[in-house]
Amino acid sequence: MAKNSDRKGVDVRDGGAGLSPSLPADARQVGPRLAMEDRKRAKDRRRVIVHRTGGGRRSWMLLWLLIGPGILVMLGENDGPSMISYAQTGATYGVGFFLPFIVLTFGMAFIVQEMTVRLGAATKRGHAELIYTRFGRFWGFFAMADLVFGNLLTLVTEFIAVRAGLGFFGVPPALAVLGGFLVVVAVVLTRRYWTWERITMAFAVFNLVFVPVAFMAHPVSSQVVHAFLTWRPLPGGVNAQFILLVMADIGATVTPWMLFFQQSAVVDKGLTTADIRHGRIDTALGAVIAAIAAIATVLAVTPLFTHHVAASSFQGAEFAQALVPFVGKVGATLFAIGIFEAGLVAAITISASSAYAFGEVMGSPHSLNNSLREGWPFYAVLVAAAGIAAILVLIPHAPLVFIVLIVNVIATLAMPPAILFLLLLVNDREIMGEYANTRLANFLGIGVTVLLVLAGLIYGITTVFPHILPP
């Protein structure tokens, strides 16, 4: 397997025979030997190298150029099901155990996603392609098929969120879903990874609209501090509903598609081993922003808990409507926009992860830098995944909140095998070299896996033997 080189055999490492600041502005002289994706990526790498050789203000510009995959994967996972799960959590338990628990889950997400940064930067291969290469054809196709199927279920819930968010404004379900689908297609048609990434990041910023809604809900600051220091209170204690929300909130933070998406995005962006530090910063920044938005969502709906508003069967728009007496029309409007945004950003990123995995395993072009002619299988899978999900979400009388929670639970149960593959790959010194996992990284990665397995076992036991816990 080629190491530290571009997929088409063009070295893109900083220094050596790779790109350098002395490259002529017009790089078209080498264009005939390169695919379209290589030429576009080379232009992006040249900008990175120019700013890396500078200092001061250029260091901030370098960070701006290199961030993206980490922020997108974290805010993409703050998707429609996740935000509705957090809203359900706040409405059921108020300020208490789940605030520090959410921080813990995003810490787990950072531990896992940091490994994908190193894996992508060191190997220049996507996650599905590495599984195919290192573990064989069967496991490669299995990983790809499992991801695509899981992503389809998740995409259904993203369009549920799009439908629910716009439903607050009276937009008909069919029109809302069609509009969301067309946005996904329009962003893809830019045919440039950099442009796609920046447009999606612009949408993702709106995940923070939950923060002002949280302030409008006027949470008691002493209660918030007490919750973080003591992980209490927990009204009603440990019961079946608590276990379900624990599983849903874990699945709202750590899911298999994130591994595939971030590693493929790191490769498509052209990050190298010299960029690993910035990749970690990018991932940490995304985790912090996403955790703030998640906690804000819990706090925003705590008035429903305080005033004993039963929200067990609320859809996304109904949460916004129920909040009007407590946060006003403006706050409720922001909440609905946040639900819509969460579904839309996730639909964009998750459909891309399916297309990446398909292309990596099938050996077809798989880059957002490809032209439509070169990369038509990639774009076809991406659009088809979003299109099928958009159609399924319009099925009448579907139990939307139940679907949302169960999809997050399924994601939690599917995560331990995915992390196992990740740990095997990131410990493979033949492909990772000096960037393989340290003992600390392995300890943390195994710790996350054990926690997920225990959560899955507890959920399974309480499902099979429901009498063990109160309802």
Domain with 238 in it: what CATH number? 1.20.1740.10
Q: What is the pLDDT of residue 337?
A: 94
In this structure, the answer to whether residues 57 and 157 fall within a common structural domain is no
Q: Is the pLDDT of residue 10 over 70?
A: no
Q: Do 51 and 74 reside in the same domain of the chain?
A: no
**Tokens 């973080």 appear where?**
228
Q: Which domain holds residue 189?
A: 69-468
Please tell me the least confidently modeled range out of 148-152, 412-416, 441-445.
Answer: 412-416
Q: Do 158 and 62 belong to one domain?
A: no
Tell whether 42 and 83 lie within a shared domain.
no
Same domain, 112 and 32: no
Q: Which of 105-109, 158-162, 395-399 has the highest mean pLDDT?
A: 105-109
In a shared domain, residues 274 and 145? yes
**Is residue 21 over pLDDT 60?**
no
- φ/ψ of 274, rounded to 5, equals -70, -15
Are 125 and 58 part of one and the same domain?
no
Task: Say how many domains are in the chain.
Answer: 2
Tell me the pTM.
0.86
- Neighbour count for residue 398 (Cβ, 10 Å): 12
Contacts of 36 (CB under 8 A, 6+ apart): 369, 370, 371, 374
Which of 25, 46, 66 terminates a domain? The answer is 66
Question: Shortest CA distance to 43 belongs to which of 193, 187, 186?
Answer: 193
Domain co-membership, 183 together with 309: yes
Q: What is the pLDDT of residues 43-64, one digit of tens each?
A: 878 888 888 776 556 788 888 9
pLDDT (0 to 100) of residue 30: 43
Say yes or no: 89 and 228 in one domain: yes
**Considering 10, 34, 66, which residue would you say is the last residue of a domain?**
66
Nearest to 197 by CA among 266, 116, 287: 266
Q: Are residues 12 and 121 in the same domain?
A: no
76 and 57 in a common domain: no
Could you identify the residue written with the tokens 């017009």?
26
Q: Is the pLDDT of residue 374 over 80?
A: yes
Last residue of a domain, one of 13, 36, 66: 66
| Amino acid, single-letter form, for residue 405 | L
Give yes or no: residues 152 and 23 share one domain: no
